[in-house]
Amino acid sequence: MPKIGNIELPDFPLLLAPMEDVSDPPFRALCKEQGADVVYTEFISAEGLIRDAAKSVMKLDIYEKERPVGIQIFGAVLDSMLKTVEIVEATGPDIIDINFGCPVKKVVSKGAGAGILKDIDLMVSLTEAMVKHTNIPITVKTRLGWDEESIRIVEVAERLQDVGCQALAIHGRTRKQMYKGDADWTLIAEVKNNPRMHIPIFGNGDVNTPERAKIMRDEYGLDGAMIGRASIGYPWFFREVKHYLKTGEHLPPPTMKERVEAARRHLQMAIDWKGEKLGVFETRRHYTNYFKGIPNFKEYRMKLVTYDDSASVFRTLDEALEVFGAYAFA
């Protein structure tokens, strides 16, 4: 059974990836209910946190029902990262995760996220300093390398482990690839199969079917799967993967009633957490996936993503259930 510090995890745990504007408390709660073993916050800027930027501070909100929960931070300046560890520590997460993998230009241009893959020494020294600065387990999420010519992930993993990193989640693409092409899990397996490694190695990238999760476990031998895009608007993905890994059979997809219920709860929790306006606006991205595959649903989808008030959205969800309640998802 893999462990992160003293946190015991089940065999082949499923982790909800940190995703900007996605993995907030309402969505994490839904994923947790559906079987996610560890959930991570959206990534939080060290500089934003030190400046007390409202959006960064709000991302620190975590709840007991989410545990074990990891707060993910990004930055490239030692002093800022250490101050951030202190701020984060005060909120009581189970894990502090460092983002050394985000490929987005505004992050990379500051030398943070995947930008640090150009300076492995800095990546290692930042990790070491943060490990020494807190008793909370420090983990790292990263990519294979900056580009194909600079892949040194086996060495990088060893060095991070040597300075006290407690677990490593590796996205099977380079920064140059962004999200294009296929994720290469063979290199993640190389890290896992390195006899020097003893911390958990989690695979990330293209875990988009229960079958793929099984391949990651059985053929690549990884310790767990970190799931991102496959879960957006579809928290049931976690329970479907778990059921398949256990039985080799597919669970039937969620009914229309379950989907509407999840969308309603998601919206209500979002409003309770960040207010009417933001709650309505930021839940929109999930509706397409909540109701994916229903023929003639476009009219309702358009309403869901354009209404500015929650009363209209709730009414539309009720109407959709009335009209499509008998629809059988294949």
- From CA 204, how far away is CA 270, in angstroms rounded? 27
The pTM is what?
0.94
Looking at the structure, tell me whether residues 169 and 53 fall in a common domain: yes
Examine residue 19 and state whether it is found in any structural domain, yes or no: yes
Condensed to tens digits (0 to 9), the pLDDT of residues 152-199 reads 999 999 999 999 999 999 999 989 888 888 999 999 999 999 999 999
Looking at the structure, tell me whether residues 199 and 54 fall in a common domain: yes
Give me the mean pLDDT over the 196-221 stretch. 97
Give me the mean pLDDT over the 82-97 stretch. 95
Number of domains in the chain: 2
**Count of beta carbons in the 10 Å neighbourhood of residue 75:** 28
Residue 135 phi, psi dihedral angles, 5° rounding: -95, -5
- From CA 117, how far away is CA 302, in angstroms rounded? 41
Supply the CATH number for residue 260's domain: 1.10.1200.80
Domain end marker among 247, 280, 296: 247
Instruction: Provide the pLDDT for residue 317.
Output: 97
Strand partners for 75: none
Examine residue 29 and state whether it is found in any structural domain, yes or no: yes
Residue 273 pLDDT level (bands cut at 50, 70, 90): very high
**What does the DSSP 8-state code read for residue 64?**
G
Residue 303 pLDDT level (bands cut at 50, 70, 90): very high
Please give the residue range of the domain that contains residue 320. 256-324
Looking at the structure, tell me whether residues 238 and 264 fall in a common domain: no
Residue 211 pLDDT exceeds 90 = yes
Looking at the structure, tell me whether residues 240 and 268 fall in a common domain: no
Give me the mean pLDDT over the 195-222 stretch. 97
Looking at the structure, tell me whether residues 137 and 197 fall in a common domain: yes
Examine residue 217 and state whether it is found in any structural domain, yes or no: yes
Looking at the structure, tell me whether residues 177 and 36 fall in a common domain: yes
Instruction: Provide the pLDDT for residue 56.
Output: 86
Looking at the structure, tell me whether residues 67 and 85 fall in a common domain: yes
Alpha carbon distance, N-terminus to C-terminus of the chain = 35
Instruction: Provide the pLDDT for residue 189.
Output: 98
User: Contact 228/43 with Cβ under 8 angstroms?
Assistant: no
Domain end marker among 229, 247, 265: 247
Residue 330 pLDDT level (bands cut at 50, 70, 90): confident
Residue 100 pLDDT exceeds 80 = yes
CA 127 → CA 6, 44, 92, 134, distances in Å? 19, 16, 19, 11
CB neighbour list of residue 253: distance below 8 Å, 6 or more residues apart: 236, 240, 329, 330
pLDDT above 90 covers what percent of the chain? Answer: 82
- From CA 327, how far away is CA 256, in angstroms rounded? 7
Q: With b meaning 16 or more CB within 10 Å and e meaning fewer, what string describes 258-281?
A: ebbebbbebbebbbebbeeeebbe
Looking at the structure, tell me whether residues 77 and 20 fall in a common domain: yes
Q: Which residues are known catalytic residues?
A: 102
Residue 329 pLDDT level (bands cut at 50, 70, 90): confident
Looking at the structure, tell me whether residues 160 and 241 fall in a common domain: yes
Supply the CATH number for residue 7's domain: 3.20.20.70
User: Contact 73/48 with Cβ under 8 angstroms?
Assistant: no
Condensed to tens digits (0 to 9), the pLDDT of residues 221-238 reads 999 999 999 999 999 999
Examine residue 330 and state whether it is found in any structural domain, yes or no: no
Q: Indicate the average pLDDT of the chain.
A: 94
Examine residue 131 and state whether it is found in any structural domain, yes or no: yes
Examine residue 40 and state whether it is found in any structural domain, yes or no: yes
Looking at the structure, tell me whether residues 243 and 261 fall in a common domain: no
Instruction: Provide the pLDDT for residue 237.
Output: 98
Examine residue 286 and state whether it is found in any structural domain, yes or no: yes
Examine residue 329 and state whether it is found in any structural domain, yes or no: no
CB neighbour list of residue 284: distance below 8 Å, 6 or more residues apart: 304, 305
Domain end marker among 195, 214, 247: 247
- From CA 59, how far away is CA 229, in angstroms rounded? 19
Instruction: Provide the pLDDT for residue 37.
Output: 98
Looking at the structure, tell me whether residues 204 and 306 fall in a common domain: no
Residue 27 pLDDT level (bands cut at 50, 70, 90): very high
Looking at the structure, tell me whether residues 54 and 149 fall in a common domain: yes
Residue 68 pLDDT level (bands cut at 50, 70, 90): very high
Residue 197 vs residue 63, higher pLDDT: 197
